[in-house]
Amino acid sequence: MKLLRAAALAMSATLMLAACGSADGGSAGDDSIKIGAWYPLSGAQASSGTPQMAGASTFWKKIDADGGINGKKVDFIYKDNAFDPQQTLQIAREMVTRDKVDIIANTNGTATTEATFPLVLEQNKVPIFGTYGGLTNWYNPPRARLYGTQTLYEDQARIAAEWALEEGAKKITIIHDDPAAFVTVKDTAAKTIDAEGGTASSVEVKIGTTDYGPAVAAVKKQSPDAVLLILPPQEAAAYLNEAALQRVDAQAYGYSPAVIEATIALAGKNAEGFRGVALTKPTTADDPAVKEYRDDLAKYGDGAKPDLYSLATYGYAKALSIILGSIDGKIDKESISKAIESAQNIETGIVPPLSYSGDDHLGTDAGVRVEVENGQFVAKSDFISPKQ
């Protein structure tokens, strides 16, 4: 936790001057494409929100430096919501009524963003593209003007569980936090394991737990072949460290919130061999698109270091730029929604190909299998979807 707080504070210090405003530090004018977003740039969740802002901001700065989209500059307006739904609602009100944004894109938070749906989607008919987080019921049935870019947590859990089964695991223990959102993901993974002929059990912990001694002892009693971590990074690291102490050698898998550099930083050598499902290719990949991200972050990222959070929002921003560039004529909230719903196989080289229709607003159900090797995530698959 101390490492996470320190990283968040250090990143926040370099970026807070731009925490409320445009990516280029000023307004791009009435003829610009206005994109709004909110991130937790302060508080406990800043360790995710700050790099996510850096990734999106970097991409839009690069686009403007290259001449914009169809000759139009991008005014990327982002604000700190401290991960608070009421603050987010006020920010959304300012963005849609005062700033007149054309779209909310690549923003952060399930509960925070959901609080804005009546105002943004229904009253002002502004589309929302790519929230970090999200729930199945956001997209099934599809909600007007709401479009996903991130593989849902349930699908991530399916991909991870199927990987464990393919590697020969029969008994799998799922370790998860106690809030309902975590329980839902656990239930989905358990159904996948049972359907494939395995046996699923679980160990529930209180969210925010730091002492994983009792949880690991409970896992040890179950003698699983593998464990599946439905946990945030600090808790995933706490499990890996305690498992090493108690000599639990069951292969550990995780879903994307645990697949982040912070897990490696906190678990150190105990993270070696940890497997999980990432939303993107690794930041160290040799792919040209990932190399371009690293170069752009070094040039426009105000000192931000490569990580999977910023790589994801950079990739999602790139996907949106491709969609915006396909619009022939006026770019506004109506034409943007139409363009998204007709977008097929949007390739970024970073995130899975995204496709939409009037009946499908999710975009993708794919992820990348990765494993920690020599202190960094290494891809073990291309983009892969769950079987079920």
| Cβ proximity of 51 and 77 under 8 Å | no
Residue 249 has a pLDDT of 94
- Say yes or no: do domains 2-151+286-357 and 154-278+368-384 share a fold: yes
147 Cβ contact list (under 8 Å, min separation 6): 127, 128, 129, 130, 340, 356, 361, 362, 363
Which of 379, 388, 365 lies closest to 153, judged by CA? 365
Residue 226, helix vs strand vs coil: strand
276 Cβ contact list (under 8 Å, min separation 6): 160, 229, 253, 254, 255, 256, 258, 259, 369, 370, 371
Helix (H) or strand (E) holding 237: helix 233-245
Residue ranges of domains in the chain: 2-151+286-357, 154-278+368-384
d(CA 128, CA 92): 11
Q: Does domain 2-151+286-357 have CATH number 3.40.718.10?
A: no
Residue 308 has a pLDDT of 96
d(CA 181, CA 129): 21
Residue 13 has a pLDDT of 40
Residue 5 has a pLDDT of 45
Residue 99 has a pLDDT of 97
Q: Hunting for tokens 């445009």 — which residue is that? A: 22
Helix (H) or strand (E) holding 309: helix 308-325
User: How do the pLDDT tens digits run along the chain, 388 residues long?
Assistant: 444 444 444 444 444 434 455 654 444 446 899 999 999 999 988 989 999 999 999 999 999 999 999 999 999 999 999 999 999 999 999 999 999 999 999 999 999 999 999 999 999 999 999 999 999 999 999 999 999 999 999 999 999 999 999 999 999 999 999 999 899 999 999 999 999 999 999 999 999 999 999 999 999 999 999 999 999 999 999 999 999 999 999 999 999 999 999 999 999 999 999 999 999 999 999 999 999 999 999 999 999 999 999 999 999 999 999 999 999 999 999 999 999 999 999 999 999 999 999 999 999 999 999 999 999 999 999 999 999 6
Cα 97 to chain centroid distance, Å, stands at 28
CATH architecture under which domain 154-278+368-384 falls: 3-Layer(aba) Sandwich (3.40)
Residue 28 has a pLDDT of 45
